[in-house]
Amino acid sequence: MKRTTLIMILLAIGGVALSLSVGPMGLNAPDQVILYLRLPRILLAITAGASLAVSGCVLQAVLRNPLATPFTLGISAGAGVTAGFIILSGISLPIYFLYLSGTAGALAASTLTWFLAGRGQRDHSGLILAGVTVNLLGASLLLLIEYMSPASRLVEIIRWMMGDLAVSGYRRVLYLFPFLIAGMVPAMLRTGTLNQFLTGTEMAESRGVNTVRERFFLLLAAAVLAGGAVGAVGPVGFVGLIVPHTMRRLVGGDYRKLLPFSALGGAILMLWADIFSRVVISPAELPIGVILSLLGGPFFLYLLIKKPRL
């Protein structure tokens, strides 16, 4: 546990230092590049990674399903549809509106999933099935949008769907910040409640948890975290899957430890995936979504084959 903490702090500090010095201009980059390109990019990676990891971690406890992530619940599909629609429309809007439409789509899709699943009254597989349904619906709508898009816009849509951490200035980080606070604070205050959800609704209820209300708040927090992150960096997947399961192995399943460690782990994963995406075909960049999917696909399979502790 102490060793894990130490290694993670070293990985985080090392990641920040490396990320500050990596780029086409390397260490010789002028201060402006470091201050307005690299530093905000690091902050964006950290906040988005922590948000996505905590979102997945919360969902896995509340739904008691190891494969529950923002993406299996239809959030990414929702974000894709609205953001795709904005890009297709070609209206020249401030960039905030693209973020905001991604977030709105993510929240709309998770609300739809929630109602399709009977507002949490039905069993856990009901919610996952509803998520799959919403995902399929979103994916087909996105295909339709892509089909109708002119080539130039199509590239833009596809590029956004692949995830993008490239920033200049702090606007995107500042956009994500309110979502981070609004989702992270209520989740962190409910770590003990999340532990109770692990033993099932009846046990949790018998120990004084208002399961209907708490489930709603926790799902809302997870949706806000994932929605904000998806709006800011695009629908990158698998962070909410890889990080909580890895941390569960390292620090155990007690959410009072697991949730803060997942936040740190998500930040580290995103930070290092971003470094990798910038150096592997330097000076060009690989989209971060591609790297995370290459990591996440096999990990998903691994979880399916080797029964995870959840």
Residues binding other proteins (CB under 8 A): 64, 66, 121, 188-193, 195-196, 198-200, 202-203, 205-212, 248, 252-254, 256, 258, 308-310
Give least dist CB 50 to other proteins, A.
Answer: 18
Q: Enumerate residues 6+ apart whose C-beta is below 8 A from 106.
A: 70, 75, 76, 78, 79, 223, 226, 227, 230, 231
Give least dist CB 243 to other proteins, A.
Answer: 14
3-state secondary structure of 254: coil
Q: Are residues 101 and 86 in contact, defined by beta-carbon separation less than 8 angstroms?
A: yes
**Residue closer to other proteins, measured from CB, 14 or 252:** 252
**Residue closer to other proteins, measured from CB, 63 or 81:** 63
Give least dist CB 254 to other proteins, A.
Answer: 6
Give least dist CB 200 to other proteins, A.
Answer: 5
**Residue closer to other proteins, measured from CB, 24 or 118:** 118
Give least dist CB 199 to other proteins, A.
Answer: 5
Task: Tell me how far apart the alpha carbons of residues 145 and 141 are, in angstroms, rounded to a whole number.
Answer: 6
Place of tokens 């910038």: 278
**What b-and-e string marks burial along 181-203, b requiring 16 or more CB atoms within 10 Å of the CB?**
eebbebbbebbebbbbbbeebee
**Residue closer to other proteins, measured from CB, 1 or 212:** 212
List the one residue out of 164, 156, 198 whose CA is nearest residue 44: 164
Amino acid at 153: R
**Residue closer to other proteins, measured from CB, 155 or 207:** 207
**Residue closer to other proteins, measured from CB, 31 or 202:** 202
Give least dist CB 252 to other proteins, A.
Answer: 6
| Opening angle at CA 229, ends 66 and 209, nearest 5 | 50
Residue 137 belongs to what H/E stretch? helix 124-148
Give least dist CB 75 to other proteins, A.
Answer: 22
**Residue closer to other proteins, measured from CB, 26 or 208:** 208
Give least dist CB 279 to other proteins, A.
Answer: 35
List the one residue out of 159, 35, 182, 16 whose CA is nearest residue 87: 159
- φ, ψ of residue 253 to 5 degrees: the values are -95, 0
Q: Are residues 99 and 42 in contact, defined by beta-carbon separation less than 8 angstroms?
A: no
**Residue closer to other proteins, measured from CB, 130 or 258:** 258
Task: Tell me how far apart the alpha carbons of residues 42 and 15 are, in angstroms, rounded to a whole number.
Answer: 9
Task: Kindly report the length of the chain.
Answer: 310
| CA atoms lying within 13 Å on the CB side of residue 226 | 40
